Amino acid sequence: MLERSHDINALSAPGDAAPVSVLLELGIPQGLVVSRWKGGDGVLDQAAESARSASLNGYIKVVLSAEGERSESILSVYAGSPSLCLHVFRPIGMDELWFLGEKASEYLWYDACRPEAVVSLHSEVNLKDFEQLFPGAKVRRAEAPRNVLPPEKVRADKLRRAEPENTGGYLLAAAGLGTDDHRAEKQARGVYDLVLQYHKMRADSQGIGVCCDCGGPIDLLGYCPRCASREEESPSIPRMDPRASFSAFVGGPGSRFAEAAARAVAAEPGRRYNPLVIHSRQGMGKSHLLQAVGHEMKRLRRELNVVYLPLDSVDLGTTEAARASLRQELDTADALLIDDVQMLSGREGAQDDLMRAVNRLIAAGKQVVMTADREPRRIPSLADRLAARMESGLVVEIGPLDQATRIGMLRKVASRGGCVVGDDVLEIVAEACPDTAGQLEGGMNRVLAFASLMGSEITTELAREVLGPGNVTPIGEIEVREGRSYIVLEPRPDRAYDLVGRQVDRGMRALVFSRSNPGTVRDRLGGRKADIYWLTEHESRGSRTVPPSLEKIVMLAEDHVRRDGPSIVLLDDLHYLISNAGFEGVIRFVRSLVDQVSERRAVFMVSVSPDSLKVQERSVLEREMEPVRP
């Protein structure tokens, strides 16, 4: 079952050994729990394949409690590929033992094969900092050991390695986290920001209390033991975030209509606005409103079976068995909440299944609510009949966050942390994090964490020190260097063309791939010489054209940078390629060109509107290329 979790050690069962400290010490958050499995043969392979196919940023966690001893493993994945592994073992009567890298991944594999283990897949978590803290933990793959050992020999192997350098204290000290002074220094740099969020979320969770399904008590994860058996039967259908309620939603002028419509369908499901479609760019609160509808329906009518379907996280049925399981779940729904409909783009089978389910539910007077990142008709490769069905009800948009709304969100975040923050500080945070609600919350939490951990007052000076300019380079300060790659975050590619023009003036050869007419590109370059390819599926007599084929673009770019002398390659509309080739394909394309220019006197530059990217997509791209903001 999917959920946004509150307690980073909530998988501990009563009677378990004390939780291993790796999560508490390092501040690794739960993020979004994509899937959870019981241990067994092939389970780790299944989790790794799920991460790879979704190009997931997060980690696989394996927890094993047996015979009074406990071990816990974290396999970090970046864009779906393993990057780091930690394993912690707490034997009876001994200090915990830590293992890093390949040996940790071996123990992780052994634990995941045992039926007592719990294996979970977590997304929306960035563990890049820990690669710097523990360089010895880096891995490239997580495969079955060559010589498979029984559990008792695995335990003996761990104890045989119980050297001082494998203790938690030694490794924390080696990472610069062993003393209060060193830890404070790391905390000040943001490595431990999540510690505050952990304690805050524990406090928040005390108010959750009751399961929406059965009325029984729930744990700090929002997980109900009474409903566990049903969750085992339907692991592919996630649960809603227990914090996403109407009372927690901070509305403003841009969201007032959407919130009113959401409250109306929650109060009278199936009678008004069916289906209800809420669209906005990422981070505006549409998923929060969607889940708030579900929570309110359950509060008013506990017997309702509300099915929440976040399409970026669930298995839409790559096999017939998976499709049959999904159909069965949808057939029992009294209300269907579909998040991120744009994820159906180009998936005809999944579109057909959901179209049938939506038609059946609406005909039976049952409520359907959907969200998307744009209007239905603008979703690429979405069937006309599905777009028409979405538009047959009510389509509402959540507009940009105004200053008052951003301040209100920040004030609520601060109050959840038990802090009173002055308006002058809130204004600084709002200005530093202007794009999305997630950025606002993250910025506020950094300020609260720094103040709490350093024992400082929350002042405007502290907020400016913590937030600073970030790792995004302003356009006026950037010095374009050969062998580097840059992503320019801007609504229109004006600044990217300014940068290209400067490099042409310095003697670089320029190659431009653009969705705009080549004449427009020449105007933007001020008449400077450049090789221009028009990104279009249609041919042109007077211009060179190239279809949105990643292979052809890579071939042309590689040929350009291999010539003598310095050169620069600009792609001025990355989102066009994403909509045609998918994000995973585009990431491979980007990495290929990044590698090419890193070895030559060349520069690779991409311009993209931040509004066109999901938060996770933007994060992946910013790790591959140096981000630049106008």
* 479-506 average pLDDT score: 88
Omega cis (within 30) before 275: yes
Provide, rounded to the nearest whole percent, the portion of the chain with pLDDT above 70.
75
Phi then psi for residue 569, to 5 deg, are -120, 130
Residues 392 and 410 in one domain: no
Residues 34 and 81 in one domain: yes
Residues spanned by the domain of 299 = 236-396
Flag whether 230 is in a domain. no
Flag whether 205 is in a domain. no
* 43-57 average pLDDT score: 85
Single out the residue in 396, 416, 445 at which a domain terminates.
396
Phi then psi for residue 511, to 5 deg, are -125, 125
Residue 209 has pLDDT above 80, yes or no: no
* 281-287 average pLDDT score: 80
The reported pLDDT for the residue numbered 263 is 93
* 270-274 average pLDDT score: 88
The reported pLDDT for the residue numbered 477 is 53
Residues 391 and 483 in one domain: no
Q: In what order do the strands lie in the sheet with 367-372?
A: 306-310, 335-339, 367-372, 276-279, 394-397
Helix (H) or strand (E) holding 63: strand 58-66
Lowest-pLDDT range of 316-320, 383-387, 433-437, 506-510: 316-320
The reported pLDDT for the residue numbered 235 is 41
Band (pLDDT 50/70/90 cuts) for residue 327 is: confident
Q: Which residues contact 408 (CB under 8 A, 6 or more apart)?
A: 250, 252
The reported pLDDT for the residue numbered 135 is 77
Residue 580 has pLDDT above 70, yes or no: yes
Residues 456 and 565 in one domain: no
Residue 542 has pLDDT above 90, yes or no: no
Residue 188 has pLDDT above 50, yes or no: no
The reported pLDDT for the residue numbered 450 is 73
Residue 241 has pLDDT above 80, yes or no: no
Residue 183 has pLDDT above 70, yes or no: no
Residues 418 and 462 in one domain: yes
* 481-486 average pLDDT score: 90
Flag whether 218 is in a domain. no
Residues 483 and 619 in one domain: yes
User: Each residue of 549-569: pLDDT tens digit?
Assistant: 888 999 999 999 988 899 999
Q: What is the pTM of this model?
A: 0.45
Residues 520 and 624 in one domain: yes
Residues 161 and 29 in one domain: yes
Give the CA angle between residues 59, 9, 329 to the nearest 5°. 65
Q: Higher model confidence: residue 70 or residue 194?
A: 70
Q: Higher model confidence: residue 129 or residue 389?
A: 389
Name the nearest CA neighbour of 606 among 489, 476, 432, 484: 489
How many structural domains are present in the chain?
4
Band (pLDDT 50/70/90 cuts) for residue 189 is: very low
Residues 436 and 451 in one domain: yes
Residue 431 is encoded by which pair of tokens? 């200005």
Q: DSSP letters of 216-271? A: -B--TTS--GGGHHHHHH-TTSPPPPTT--TTT----TTTHHHHHHHHHHHHSTTT
Residue 490 has pLDDT above 60, yes or no: yes
Flag whether 296 is in a domain. yes
Residue 256 is encoded by which pair of tokens? 């007032």
Residue 122 has pLDDT above 90, yes or no: no
From residue 14, alpha-carbon distances to 87, 116, 222, 225, 519 in Å are 22, 14, 16, 12, 69
Residues 482 and 599 in one domain: yes
Single out the residue in 467, 492, 510 at which a domain terminates.
467
The reported pLDDT for the residue numbered 21 is 40
E-only strand ranges, 67-114: 69-78, 81-90, 97-100
The reported pLDDT for the residue numbered 33 is 73
CATH number at residue 428: 1.10.8.60
Q: Which residues of 3-31 are buried (b: 16+ CB within 10 A; e: fewer)?
A: bbbbbbbbbbeeebbebbbbbebbbbbbb
Name the nearest CA neighbour of 350 among 315, 399, 394: 315
The reported pLDDT for the residue numbered 238 is 61
Lowest-pLDDT range of 144-148, 227-231, 249-253: 227-231
Residues 384 and 288 in one domain: yes
Which residue is listed with tokens 């907020």? 463
Flag whether 479 is in a domain. yes
CATH number at residue 597: 3.40.50.300
The reported pLDDT for the residue numbered 15 is 34
Name the nearest CA neighbour of 254 among 292, 284, 291: 284
Flag whether 212 is in a domain. no
Band (pLDDT 50/70/90 cuts) for residue 212 is: low
Handedness of CA 355, 357, 359, 365 (dihedral sign): negative
Band (pLDDT 50/70/90 cuts) for residue 255 is: confident
The reported pLDDT for the residue numbered 435 is 63
Lowest-pLDDT range of 166-180, 252-266, 464-478, 610-624: 166-180
The reported pLDDT for the residue numbered 177 is 44
Output DSSP code: residue 12. Answer: P
Phi then psi for residue 479, to 5 deg, are -115, 105
Lowest-pLDDT range of 9-18, 539-548, 596-605: 9-18
Residue 525 is encoded by which pair of tokens? 């370059």
The reported pLDDT for the residue numbered 129 is 64
Name the nearest CA neighbour of 231 among 64, 311, 118: 118
Flag whether 135 is in a domain. yes
Residues 161 and 241 in one domain: no
Residue 494 has pLDDT above 60, yes or no: yes
Cβ count within 10 A of residue 629: 16
User: Mean pLDDT of all residues in the chain?
Assistant: 76
Lowest-pLDDT range of 131-135, 283-287, 518-522, 595-599: 131-135
Single out the residue in 396, 414, 440 at which a domain terminates.
396
Residue 25 is encoded by which pair of tokens? 């010490």
Q: Higher model confidence: residue 334 or residue 183?
A: 334
The reported pLDDT for the residue numbered 276 is 94
Flag whether 514 is in a domain. yes
Number of continuous H segments (helices) and E segments (strands) in the chain? 24, 20
